[in-house]
């Protein structure tokens, strides 16, 4: 496995910041590190589960099938399907973006993947009851409808930027 320069620089910066923090206030640094480890411990089961599911799905679908279902030439229906799946899926961003990367490597098109990510981040069918409780039914439905509609121009914008 090849580690890029960006990854090495990120780790070096993080280590330097940790050392600086520890020199400034050892107690606060220890508390922050323990809090971070606790958060990692809470997130890890979700992260591993999603990675396993994505790995299984990617192993079942070869590149040709993935291209046929989500490829650039798969048509508007694949983009609609990606938007619907993104709208009803509840995946944190730190998991969604690596999933999107794997989908792209497996032959999926930019527009369906960008639509999936947009709806995943902006539309919340699963969280709609909570949203209705805090925002009211009308506001929650309007927000989700606008977010769903905006995901398509956002995906086109992403495809345009990638094409540059």
Residues sharing a CB contact under 8 Å with residue 109, sequence separation 6 or more, in sequence order: 67, 70, 71, 72, 73, 74, 78
* Segment 69-85, tens digit of pLDDT: 776 677 788 889 889 88
Same domain, 10 and 66: no
Residue 54 falls inside a structural domain: no
Residue 127 falls inside a structural domain: yes
Same domain, 18 and 94: no
Asked whether the predicted pLDDT for residue 68 surpasses 90, the reply is: no
Number of domains in the chain: 2
Residue 52 falls inside a structural domain: no
Averaged pLDDT, 136-161: 95
Enter the pTM of the model: 0.64
Query: What percentage of the chain reaches a pLDDT higher than 90?
Result: 41
Q: 94: domain range?
A: 61-163
Give residue 57's pLDDT band: very low, low, confident or very high (50, 70, 90): low
User: Which of 161, 162, 144, 159 shows the shortest CA–CA distance to 83?
Assistant: 144
- The CA distance from 155 to 161, in Å, is 10
Residue 130 falls inside a structural domain: yes
Say if residues 91 and 50 touch (Cβ distance below 8 Å): yes
Same domain, 82 and 36: no
Asked whether the predicted pLDDT for residue 142 surpasses 60, the reply is: yes
Helices (H) and strands (E) in the chain, counts: 8, 0
Residue 92 falls inside a structural domain: yes
Say if residues 82 and 70 touch (Cβ distance below 8 Å): yes
- The CA distance from 114 to 93, in Å, is 13
Residue 57, classified by CB atoms within 10 Å of its CB into exposed (0-12), middle (13-18) or buried (19+), is: middle
Residue 37 falls inside a structural domain: yes
């Amino acid at each position: 496995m090849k580690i890029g320069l960006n990854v090495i620089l990120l780790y070096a910066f993080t280590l330097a910041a940790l050392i600086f923090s520890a020199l400034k206030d050892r107690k606060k640094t220890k508390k922050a590190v323990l809090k971070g480890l606790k958060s990692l411990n809470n997130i890890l089961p979700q992260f591993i589960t999603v990675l396993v599911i994505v790995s299984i799905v990617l192993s079942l679908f070869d590149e040709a099938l993935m291209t046929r279902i989500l490829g650039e030439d798969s048509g508007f229906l694949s983009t609609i399907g990606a938007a619907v799946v993104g709208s009803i899926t509840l995946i944190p961003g730190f998991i969604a973006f690596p999933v999107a990367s794997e989908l792209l490597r497996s032959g999926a098109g930019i527009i369906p993947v960008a639509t999936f990510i947009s709806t995943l981040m902006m539309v919340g069918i699963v969280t709609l009851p909570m949203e209705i409780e805090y925002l009211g039914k009308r506001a929650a439905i309007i927000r989700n409808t606008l977010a769903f509609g905006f995901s398509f121009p956002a995906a086109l914008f992403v495809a345009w930027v990638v094409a540059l």
